[in-house]
Structure 1
Amino acid sequence: MTAEDEALKALRTSQTLDLLIWAAPVAFAATDQLYDEDAGHDQMVIGILNFTHLRDLLDRATANGRFKVGEGLHGLGADAVKRGISPDAFKSMPLVEDNAIMRRDYKRSPGWVAEGYRILLQSYSFGKVDQIHWGQRSDAKRKVATQQYVAAEALFTDEDFDLESVQGIPDDDEFEGITLIAAHAFNPVTKQYELYVGQSKNPQHKEDSCWHWKKRILFGGTPIGGSGLAVPPLLPGDAASTEVDDVTVRIKGRRQAEEAGAANG
């Protein structure tokens, strides 16, 4: 089993992949509603909107950020959680236990941690996932790309997963696991979108990859010119295509959230 396999397995176990598969199309749909080319919206605006929506949705589903649950409470009421998203998005929100996925930011870059892996968000222009120059990104993303790549066999001690033996980001004292990147792209003109998860790296040579490994977990949209197999335009609550066949999406029903709200008074 490769390091990529181990990472994806842990992300499935923690439901982090479930959350990304749910949040990305909802976020892109929200960005699509706000995008206005005539107002001068460009790739920077698209990236900021996607990032903002994704951060909000991940915090919403994991009770972090502005959705952080107060001491003595077991969860926010349905009214607070569903405010600002479509009914379909709320109904399909994965059910995550309190404190199962925690915020562990790095250099003010929002991160979500579970099972020894942290996910940071990074936008890019659609179709250019292999052209991300980490050295030209934020200081956080530049430092993450210097993180040591650890082969799968090095992740085990006496057949047990031992993340304390894994070297993380050199100057990060708050987290000892592995930091990964969820790279997201959405083109509001063609409605094409994609989402990758992987471990970034700073290439030593021009022909080197900017990834130790990456996995495309979402894709879709209508190709430019209408060629190929078209996918319907993205809408709030639409299901997304996925290459990760064995990911089980756990559904959070309205009734469960409403029961949590009733219990909290």
Structure 2
Amino acid sequence: MGERDQVLRLLGDAGVLEGIRWAQGSAYRQVQQDFNPAGGHDQGWIGYNAYKYLLNRLDRVFQCEQYMAPDGEESVGRDVLADGMIGRDYQTMRLLPPDAVNRRDLNNSPGWMAEGWRWLLSSYKFGQVDKIRWSEKSETKATVARQPHGCDDGGLFPMTAIPALALPENPTDREREMRQTLVLAHAMDPDTLEFELFLGRSRWNADGGSAWVWKQNMLDLPPELGNRGSRLQPLDPTTPRGDVVADVELRVRRSARDGGTPRAIGEA
């Protein structure tokens, strides 16, 4: 079994993939609802708020930081998890066992870890996930992309063929954690309001090649993958069963771009 399949199986069985997809869907529905280009919102506004909402939803679904469950409890209070969200999002949120996912930041870059695998967030230009230049991102993202790996990334030679970058037989905990750090890449088109989400191992692409050793389109995963380790958030009688606010009416606009060149939403 290759690394990609192994990661997807581990995180899927633990319910993590479904939690990630829920977090992204909830975050970007909120962005779509709040986005007001006529009022001055632009792609920079999308980038900043998409990052903040996604950070919040990941912490919420995995019960990290301010949503951490008290010792001995299986969940933080329902009122805390539901606060500030539309009812539909709360009702479809997966409930994982306490500590199934932990916050594991890297150099102040928010990160989450489950089943020995950590992931960080990165935005990119919609439609150009393979063209991300890690040298233009933060030093943290560049460091992650430089990590040696045992996969065939399509380069001129494998990373493990370089003696200085060869995988040690007994790596330290820090080395193992660094080399098992993935990137969750997200983007939204400010004209059509379409969004994308990919999880994968980033690749140092100073050679001009692909930004990924491997990646998975999270929106293409079958619905049943990721439900086995989690259950739906139980409803509370005081929690609205309908949306607290009306469903967002998507303002799909024709693109004014020439040649279909994607636009950036900002880096987060």
- Listed as ranges, the matches of 1:183-198 within 5 Å are 183-198=185-200
For 2:234, the equivalent position in structure 1 comes to 254
Change (3 A) 1:88 1:114: same
Change (3 A) 1:42 1:130: farther
Cα distance in 2, alignment partners of residues 59 and 122 from structure 1: 16
Q: Secondary structure at the match of 2:184?
A: strand
For 1:211, the equivalent position in structure 2 comes to 212
Aligned amino acid, residue 209 of structure 1: S
Residue 115 in structure 1 maps to residue 115 in structure 2: yes
Cα distance in 1, alignment partners of residues 108 and 141 from structure 2: 11
For 2:84, the equivalent position in structure 1 comes to 84
Q: Secondary structure at the match of 1:180?
A: strand
- Listed as ranges, the matches of 1:84-233 within 5 Å are 84-151=84-151, 172=174, 175=177, 178-206=180-208, 208-218=209-219
Cα distance in 2, alignment partners of residues 188 and 120 from structure 1: 23
The Cα offsets for residues 150-205 of structure 1, whole Å up to 9 and x where unpaired, read as: 249xxxxxxxxxxx968699xx4693660111111112431211111110011131
Task: Give the TM-score of the pair, scaled to structure 2.
Answer: 0.74
For 1:49, the equivalent position in structure 2 comes to 49
Task: Give the TM-score of the pair, scaled to structure 1.
Answer: 0.75
Change (3 A) 1:177 1:9: farther
Structure 1 unmatched ranges of 5 or more: 153-163, 219-241, 259-265
Q: Is the 8 A contact 1:78 1:257 kept in 2?
A: no
Cα distance in 2, alignment partners of residues 194 and 106 from structure 1: 24
The Cα offsets for residues 62-121 of structure 1, whole Å up to 9 and x where unpaired, read as: 211121234454421111110011111101111100011100000111111111111111
Report the identity percentage: 31
Aligned amino acid, residue 247 of structure 1: L
Q: Is the 8 A contact 2:147 2:178 kept in 1?
A: no
- Listed as ranges, the matches of 1:70-81 within 5 Å are 70-71=70-71, 73-81=73-81
Q: Secondary structure at the match of 2:100?
A: coil
Cα distance in 1, alignment partners of residues 237 and 50 from structure 2: 25
Aligned amino acid, residue 215 of structure 1: Q
Aligned amino acid, residue 186 of structure 2: H
How big is the shift at 1:251? 3.8
Q: Which of 221, 225, 232 is the equivalent residue of 1:243?
A: 221
Aligned amino acid, residue 95 of structure 1: L
How big is the shift at 1:255? 3.5
The Cα offsets for residues 133-166 of structure 1, whole Å up to 9 and x where unpaired, read as: 11111121111111112249xxxxxxxxxxx968
Q: Secondary structure at the match of 1:56?
A: helix
Q: Is the 8 A contact 1:91 1:251 kept in 2?
A: no
Q: Which has the higher contact order (CA 8 A, sep 6+)?
A: 2
Change (3 A) 1:96 1:245: closer
RMSD over aligned Cα atoms: 2.8
Count residues in correspondence: 222
Change (3 A) 1:64 1:145: same
Aligned amino acid, residue 146 of structure 1: R
Change (3 A) 1:77 1:247: same
Aligned amino acid, residue 213 of structure 2: H
